Structure 1
């Protein structure tokens, strides 16, 4: 019995490719290739037994994909019916005759496929899952969810042509006013959206969209550093359960070296050069970081190489280090300011310091205390992997406690 199957001309490509039929007579005669006149992106096609254009449950179904599936079903029926009629009449149809059977389903001038942002964003997330960390994919999926809700509230589908600067202002206003996102979060959503639009242009889903001015005024939330005294409290803490002792060790390793979480969790023996660690940071791959290994850092590195320190997730380390700092008595009252509506609405709350300590606090502690020890700026930048002095200087956190601590030492008034 003759069979019909559908295939992509370039299934491994990164742009829309022609869709064609293999018609197999199953009588010893060669297969016949018949083009359907449709094109589809490989990301939108389910091969194997399905052989259908995707119409995902999440996000709006594309009318184009549904039309392709309907057209394919009609063409398959016409081909098989014509084949059966010819065989019943005792003749074999030619390839030209079979192609003519499906010509009514192939318009002379195919209407260009209309791509839309929401289905393309889902495909973008699927590609990200193969090469990015779960946390990165999760943050991008959050942006997609915000976008999908915003589009649903507008009661009309979103086109790439809609995504102007005025549209950006409406979307950002929605995030700020209705979703109550802080300014830094709004700016992050816009940054991720710009990354998606660049990817969509690279995949020829849309002409490149001008995203100049797609930003949101914000103030970086303050990340606290520990003072020398507080660091000593953390170092002196004993009697912790193993999981908290492990978290304490990981955090101290970052505080002693200034490494980001992503770099500290991926340290390898080849990075250890004895007196220094030398590695290319994951975030700034165009510069090598060189970090002096202090004695307490060496002890922790030896544990890391021996497997006595174990990597844990960023979220878990952020959670556990707060508990560790509370047990160490790092409980000074601090004021936390979160900014909304492009910094026009500051929201202030008082929190004990241990509640505000995170993985990034370790890096800030390293930088702040290095400045306090009069280590030159260029050497601190070499350790942190910063290429801009302004970035490093932002890490230099002068608190009242630190100001008192440094001033007493400078004037010889230590108690």
Structure 2
């Protein structure tokens, strides 16, 4: 059972009262099996030192003093009820801190207007979040939210109970991680989707739904993954290889273009000659990135101009992302990009051939099997790092910061130190 006291802690004549919450929780590590907790925070309720110390609990018969006592007790009882109501709804009381009590005071004085039909379960909140973001987020982001929703529906079936926002805590994380391991999802998928779930919870919190005090501390480590890219030598071999079929020549040209423009497939596959402009005798391509909305102006590398010249100034024929990913693997295999390296690729791990269970699996594979549409952007960033100033490379790739760019190409402190020796 919890108890609340109000204290006058200031030496000033008039000050705000402090609130103190006292309660006991089970603790297997203590001698008597319990642990006493005391939380404190400052309220915005102001009284005089004289009144609180001498008059508040007095048995005065003065009518003015009695009225003042009744007024103060009524006001403090509302604060007390607010805190105890939230306290009683909180599952993990052992983890509560002074910061939690301070947050409850802020909510009391600045209440969030809760939307009446706002759900408090995870699936309901996901649906509300998706609805709120349609027209604002890219279709790829909305698709990602639906993927997480479907996984959480299966997770609920696995747990045998509905998941509420207030239950997204350390215990949830433990079950979540174990379930993802059981389903053979990668560490980075588990990390990424926990971050998305926290985003849903924070959205719910902004709408007045109670969340766990442990929410902000829920974190998972990312797995370090080798950054796969094509070297200049490999790109030269790919470009010089003679391919029998037109669809492979078309895909090969797109691959070369991507490796020398540093753009995502969602951007370079939209390139047309109408986007090219001439300035000071140099050719540039100007477009707006689909993912970021940034207006980009990228100079065309001589290798890009070679491809365009072979095609009478036209870009290759557009193809779908799945076909492009399929074709460039074939292109690289024919060009003998077959060094066996460590990497990850998607496989169907289901023992039942009629059931598809696609997962990302680590292993040693011929390099051409690891080539995807993303390799162009990473190859550009990696190959030109150290020869072109990083600030200029970032301008082409569209990364927001140098730190993001260096993480993207997998550069460590040691790599940076080696680069620094060039200037000594």
Q: TM-score, normalised by structure 1?
A: 0.57
1:363 to 377, 392, 402: 377
Where 1:312 maps in the other structure, the secondary structure is: coil
Where 2:217 maps in the other structure, the secondary structure is: coil
TM-aligned CA deviation for residue 227 of structure 1: 1.6
Q: Which runs of 5+ in 2 are unaligned?
A: 1-115, 346-360, 412-421
Note if 1:325 corresponds to 2:335. Answer: no
Deviations 1:180-199 (A, max 9, x none): 21111111211322333344
TM-aligned CA deviation for residue 305 of structure 1: 10
Residue of structure 1 equivalent to 2:167: 162
The answer to whether the Cα contact below 8 Å between 2:286 and 2:296 also exists between their aligned partners in 1 is yes
The answer to whether the Cα contact below 8 Å between 1:255 and 1:365 also exists between their aligned partners in 2 is yes
Deviations 1:56-98 (A, max 9, x none): xxxxxxxxxxxxxxxxxxxxxxxxxxxxxxxxxxxxxxxxxxx
What count of residue pairs does the alignment treat as equivalent? 277
Residue of structure 1 equivalent to 2:231: 227
Residue of structure 2 equivalent to 1:380: 393
The answer to whether the Cα contact below 8 Å between 1:223 and 1:360 also exists between their aligned partners in 2 is no
TM-aligned CA deviation for residue 252 of structure 1: 1.3
Between the aligned partners of 2:332 and 2:137, the Cα distance in structure 1 is 31
Residue of structure 2 equivalent to 1:152: 157
1:142 to 147, 150, 163: 147
Between the aligned partners of 1:322 and 1:181, the Cα distance in structure 2 is 24
TM-aligned CA deviation for residue 179 of structure 1: 1.4
TM-aligned CA deviation for residue 377 of structure 1: 1.9
Closer, same or farther: CA 212–269 of 1 in aligned 2, 3 Å: farther
The answer to whether the Cα contact below 8 Å between 2:251 and 2:328 also exists between their aligned partners in 1 is yes
1:334 to 341, 346, 349: 341
Between the aligned partners of 1:301 and 1:224, the Cα distance in structure 2 is 26
The answer to whether the Cα contact below 8 Å between 1:279 and 1:288 also exists between their aligned partners in 2 is yes
Residue of structure 1 equivalent to 2:110: none
Closer, same or farther: CA 334–141 of 1 in aligned 2, 3 Å: same
Residue of structure 2 equivalent to 1:23: none
Residue correspondence of structure 1 range 259-338 to structure 2 within 5 A: 259-267=263-271, 271-274=275-278, 275-285=283-293, 289-300=296-307, 309-336=316-343
Closer, same or farther: CA 292–155 of 1 in aligned 2, 3 Å: same
Note if 1:350 corresponds to 2:353. Answer: no
The answer to whether the Cα contact below 8 Å between 1:223 and 1:356 also exists between their aligned partners in 2 is no
Closer, same or farther: CA 158–392 of 1 in aligned 2, 3 Å: closer
Between the aligned partners of 2:388 and 2:319, the Cα distance in structure 1 is 31
The answer to whether the Cα contact below 8 Å between 2:248 and 2:328 also exists between their aligned partners in 1 is yes
Residue of structure 2 equivalent to 1:255: 259
The answer to whether the Cα contact below 8 Å between 2:166 and 2:211 also exists between their aligned partners in 1 is no
TM-aligned CA deviation for residue 139 of structure 1: 3.0
TM-aligned CA deviation for residue 364 of structure 1: 1.6
Residue of structure 1 equivalent to 2:178: 173
Closer, same or farther: CA 366–308 of 1 in aligned 2, 3 Å: closer
Closer, same or farther: CA 112–291 of 1 in aligned 2, 3 Å: closer
Where 2:179 maps in the other structure, the secondary structure is: helix
TM-aligned CA deviation for residue 288 of structure 1: 5.1
The answer to whether the Cα contact below 8 Å between 2:273 and 2:315 also exists between their aligned partners in 1 is no
TM-aligned CA deviation for residue 170 of structure 1: 2.5
TM-aligned CA deviation for residue 207 of structure 1: 5.1
Closer, same or farther: CA 247–209 of 1 in aligned 2, 3 Å: farther
Closer, same or farther: CA 132–237 of 1 in aligned 2, 3 Å: farther
Note if 1:182 corresponds to 2:186. Answer: yes
Where 1:273 maps in the other structure, the secondary structure is: strand
Between the aligned partners of 1:234 and 1:261, the Cα distance in structure 2 is 19
TM-aligned CA deviation for residue 393 of structure 1: 2.8
Residue of structure 1 equivalent to 2:209: 206
The answer to whether the Cα contact below 8 Å between 1:197 and 1:209 also exists between their aligned partners in 2 is no
Q: TM-score, normalised by structure 2?
A: 0.56
Q: Which runs of 5+ in 1 are unaligned?
A: 1-110, 339-346, 399-409, 411-415
TM-aligned CA deviation for residue 322 of structure 1: 0.7
Between the aligned partners of 1:313 and 1:169, the Cα distance in structure 2 is 39
Cα RMSD between the aligned structures? 3.5
